């Protein structure tokens, strides 16, 4: 099956924004945990109610970040573009957050 890869635009700072992934409106929040074994984590919420869909997903390399949450039917894979976790200074500036979806699904940032 053919896929399409979208780069989710980020800056190397904590942030929250609305996005449509595979036709579903979501709110993504990225936080930096400045502790031992910390790093970037992702929270996904419903945009209108702010209800949490899934929180605290660590941004690690080499895996589909959404694989443990397939039952949520978010319409694709979420990966970072590196085999190593992003640092405080390179997320969105050298290491990208990617949404990979079957051909024909849309992403609006």
> 101 and 22 in contact (C-beta within 8 Å)?
yes
Reduced to 3 states, what is the DSSP secondary structure of residue 67? helix
Q: Encode pLDDT of 65-95 as tens digits.
A: 999 999 999 999 999 999 988 999 999 999 9
In angstroms, the CA 69 to CA 43 distance is 13
User: Mean pLDDT, to the nearest integer, of 58-62?
Assistant: 95
Q: Encode pLDDT of 6-39 as tens digits.
A: 999 999 999 999 999 999 999 999 999 999 888 9
The boundaries of the domain holding residue 60 are 3-108
């Amino acid at each position: 099956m053919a896929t399409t890869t979208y780069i989710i635009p980020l800056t190397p700072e904590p942030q929250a924004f609305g996005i449509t992934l595979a036709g579903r409106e979501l709110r993504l929040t990225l936080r930096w945990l400045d502790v031992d074994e910390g790093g970037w984590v992702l929270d996904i919420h419903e945009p209108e109610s702010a209800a949490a869909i899934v929180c605290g997903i660590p941004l690690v390399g080499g895996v589909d970040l959404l694989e443990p949450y397939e039952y949520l039917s978010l319409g694709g894979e979420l990966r970072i573009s590196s085999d190593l976790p992003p640092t405080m200074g390179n997320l969105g500036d050298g290491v990208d957050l990617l949404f990979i979806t079957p051909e024909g699904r849309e992403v609006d940032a």
